[in-house]
Structure 1
């Protein structure tokens, strides 16, 4: 039997095996599904669920409110999808059925392929990873700042590694737009500046490469 698939990069969704979306209505319900999917296959304590679903401002009887939400989520997804376990609840899903965890695995595999000297394999894996990305990740968490920090950092790493794969494959022209966008988002990342300068040089744009070097020098000095 094919499993339900979950998307938590961007707006939280549940998809049946045929691709039909499951109606998961209400911000609290999507927040609950997000917290469970972040830890797919693992028990999440009720206290942590209440804390994250209500962002530190739980109702008077948080545990009762959580039980009601879990009941609604079970009706939407199917009773077997949400198990009671070890003082909490567990989403009965594997990591590979959750887009965030697939993104993390593909990014890690792509970076390792690049390190191992196989930029062609790295490009394929990183393209698959980046195709999953939606911004902002974990959009349905009331307070996404902490939980979103790791996927956002991995996204920057994936874009950087993908651009480096292009350079190694002789595709500097394709790498330049990726690197310009990444440098704009992370102006104090020296290795990114170096990659952009290299990409511009490899496309024969010596003057632009020198200008990018001067911009990097001033930015990092400031």
Structure 2
């Protein structure tokens, strides 16, 4: 349902009896807009005069403002505009104005997307975008340069981008490509938007088009701003050049010995989570099936996945070397019956960062609980310095790394 006060499009208002108010004249609509944009706060008389009359804001306009407020009260209802010391206030909560309702829904949608819940995000963002009926303040003079309209349009662009990102996260990259292409044409220098389009092209199995899109935005940035693409775009470009496929290469994942039964809901939720979050930890007691669920999830993902078995590692200082060994990045030696990397070589963390920095991969860190401190420290470094790396961990306790998403797992019924 549309809120009663609407500025996301032509300025409109509905009375308490649901009838549409007659707002004749640009100044009457400008006054309503100025009051509605105040988010429930009083607006000083001189500020209202400046917004309604762009010129001749002398004291003589005070009487004209009083007359205009009287007209607005007759249009909306006698209690719609409250008099305050030195000014006036629209007697309505923020959610009665479509701009603030839109911003609230869009912010909720963005948070759901960040939390790895794209389906919920898509619903909230659809509701937010449905409030738009055209350009903000469409029937007011100078609406395209008005600061309020510019702010609203910028927030609308982010909401549209988030909505398309939700489609990609839900596995609907193909249907997002046409809207993304149109939006990118409107905003050729918006790097996050361009990166989203390239990710969608890659997810849809169209890497050649992704490379062409990158080259287009690279030229636009060079010609118009004299800059090179940022880190996110250059990382995507490196991935495309490396020839990554839209389906997973199993990496070091072992082949399953039995069929996978009884965790279909958990498998679906975990798969969706990993599309938008870079660290997910399955936590639960031993023997509930954390490892098997993690392997099944990783094997069906869209990037190369590598299993790092931490159960044999005894010392926390050996965790980085164990990861390097699992990735095949260093020669290994046997220490106390456990195959680990040569401790005399370069610092293992530095070597790991260099190895992973330009790759896209999913690391499955299995059985972290007995080396949880070292595992958490390493994961935090990798996530910060290797933008293409995601981590699926299994543990009896959380890693405690910022951005970690916990997925508790209990025994099967």
Provide the residue aligned with 1:24 in structure 2: 23
Provide the residue aligned with 1:72 in structure 2: 71
What is the rounded CA distance, in whole Å, between the counterparts of 2:116 and 2:54 in structure 1?
Answer: 44
Provide the residue aligned with 1:94 in structure 2: 93
What is the rounded CA distance, in whole Å, between the counterparts of 1:211 and 1:150 in structure 2?
Answer: 32
Contact 1:106/1:129 (8 A) holds in 2:
yes
Contact 1:183/1:193 (8 A) holds in 2:
yes
Deviation at 1:98, TM superposition (A): 0.8
| Larger RCO, structure (CA 8 Å, separation 6 or more) | 1
Provide the residue aligned with 1:205 in structure 2: 206
Contact 2:164/2:176 (8 A) holds in 1:
yes
The answer to whether structure 1 residue 169 and structure 2 residue 170 are counterparts is: yes
Q: Deviations over 1:156-181 (max 9, x none)?
A: 11011111111110010222122212
- 3-state SS of 1:25 partner: coil
Q: Deviations over 1:134-188 (max 9, x none)?
A: 3320234444421222111111110111111111100102221222122112111
Q: How many residues align?
A: 219
What is the rounded CA distance, in whole Å, between the counterparts of 1:189 and 1:5 in structure 2?
Answer: 33
- 3-state SS of 2:13 partner: strand
What is the rounded CA distance, in whole Å, between the counterparts of 1:134 and 1:176 in structure 2?
Answer: 24
What is the rounded CA distance, in whole Å, between the counterparts of 1:18 and 1:174 in structure 2?
Answer: 41
What is the rounded CA distance, in whole Å, between the counterparts of 2:99 and 2:202 in structure 1?
Answer: 35
Provide the residue aligned with 2:250 in structure 1: none
What is the rounded CA distance, in whole Å, between the counterparts of 1:53 and 1:62 in structure 2?
Answer: 10
Contact 1:53/1:141 (8 A) holds in 2:
no
Q: Structure 1 residues 30-39 or 179-188, which shifts more?
A: 179-188
The answer to whether structure 1 residue 216 and structure 2 residue 217 are counterparts is: yes
What is the rounded CA distance, in whole Å, between the counterparts of 2:140 and 2:64 in structure 1?
Answer: 17
Q: Structure 1 residues 123-132 or 187-196, which shifts more?
A: 187-196
What is the rounded CA distance, in whole Å, between the counterparts of 1:139 and 1:55 in structure 2?
Answer: 18
What is the rounded CA distance, in whole Å, between the counterparts of 1:116 and 1:59 in structure 2?
Answer: 52
Contact 1:159/1:178 (8 A) holds in 2:
no
Contact 1:54/1:142 (8 A) holds in 2:
no
TM score, norm. by length of structure 1: 0.92
Query: Where in structure 1 do 4 or more consecutive aligned residues deviate above 3 Å?
Result: 16-19, 56-60, 140-144
Provide the residue aligned with 1:155 in structure 2: 156
RMSD of aligned alpha carbons:
1.7
Deviation at 1:59, TM superposition (A): 6.7
What is the rounded CA distance, in whole Å, between the counterparts of 2:28 and 2:185 in structure 1?
Answer: 36
Indicate the structure with greater helix content: 1
What is the rounded CA distance, in whole Å, between the counterparts of 2:122 and 2:140 in structure 1?
Answer: 31
Runs of 5+ consecutive residues of structure 1 not aligned to the other structure: none
Answer with 1 or 2: which has the greater Rg. Answer: 2
Q: Structure 1 residues 174-183 or 120-129, which shifts more?
A: 174-183
Provide the residue aligned with 1:119 in structure 2: 118
Contact 1:52/1:141 (8 A) holds in 2:
no
The answer to whether structure 1 residue 13 and structure 2 residue 29 are counterparts is: no
Deviation at 1:205, TM superposition (A): 2.2
